């Protein structure tokens, strides 16, 4: 079982650029025994909320939004996958951008990850085309034009954004 201390050690290792080279090594470095600390919590949206049916109708949006924020605060760590790095799919989705906002608003840890091939591509573009080119790609996030499978969810997320800080503040925040 993963624990917070092992996750912190793994994070510290990654910040020092000494990542395990294979997925098996990465898994084994995290999946070691140790019972002193509480287990790490995960919110995997694909497991919590069926993405292919309109499961949000089983509870009102307010229930989803409040439980979502509570879960983010309790877990205290959000990981965002940037793929492809030039235009990450996760940063075009309304729910993902709402999750980023909730993570920032709750003062939780926010971590961005990429596949090795994406990291290499980003590094090459930075070296060949410079910082402005890379920042130009990464600053194309547009909260207002983000997409959502459900038109109702999109409308409700938009309303929640307007009630919280508004589009301009969230745009700056993200």
Q: CB-hemisphere CA count at 13 Å for 139?
A: 7
Please say if the pLDDT value at position 6 is more than 80: no
Among 36-45, 81-90, 126-135, 161-170, name the one with the lowest average pLDDT: 36-45
Q: Could you tell me if 48 and 34 lie in one domain?
A: no
Beta strand spans in the chain (E): 77-81, 109-113
The pLDDT tens digits of the residues spanning 31-79 come to 444 456 666 666 676 555 555 555 456 677 777 778 888 888 988 999 9
Handedness of CA 81, 83, 86, 91 (dihedral sign): negative
Asked if the bond preceding 84 is cis, omega within 30° of 0, the reply is yes
- In terms of domains, do 17 and 94 share one? no
What confidence tens digit (pLDDT) does each residue in 108-131 have? 999 999 999 999 999 999 999 999
Euclidean distance between CA atoms 41 and 30, whole angstroms:
14
Closest CA to 73 of 41, 30, 113: 41
- Note down the domain range covering 83: 42-173
Nearest of 161, 40, 59, 31 to residue 109 by alpha carbon: 40
Question: Mean of the pLDDT values across residues 72-96?
Answer: 91
Do 48 and 36 fall within a single domain? no
Number of structural domains (the chain) is 2
pTM above 0.75, yes or no: no
Look at 12-16, 91-95, 120-124, 136-140 and tell me which has the smallest mean pLDDT.
Answer: 12-16
Residue 21 confidence (pLDDT): 45
């Amino acid at each position: 079982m993963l624990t917070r201390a092992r996750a912190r050690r793994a994070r510290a290792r990654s910040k020092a650029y000494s990542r395990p080279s294979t997925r098996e090594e990465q898994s084994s470095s995290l999946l070691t025994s140790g019972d002193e600390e509480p287990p790490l919590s995960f919110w995997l949206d694909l497991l919590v909320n069926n993405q292919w049916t309109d499961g949000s109708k089983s509870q009102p949006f307010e229930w989803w939004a409040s439980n979502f924020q509570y879960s983010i605060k309790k877990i205290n760590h959000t990981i965002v996958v940037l793929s492809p790095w030039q235009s990450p799919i996760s940063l075009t989705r309304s729910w993902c951008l709402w999750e980023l906002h909730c993570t920032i608003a709750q003062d939780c840890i926010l971590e961005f990850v990429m596949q090795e091939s994406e990291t290499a591509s980003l590094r090459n573009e930075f070296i060949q085309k410079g910082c402005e080119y890379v920042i130009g790609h990464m600053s194309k996030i547009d909260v207002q034009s983000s997409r959502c499978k459900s038109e109702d969810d999109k409308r409700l997320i938009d309303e929640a954004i307007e009630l919280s800080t508004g589009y301009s503040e969230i745009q700056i925040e993200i």
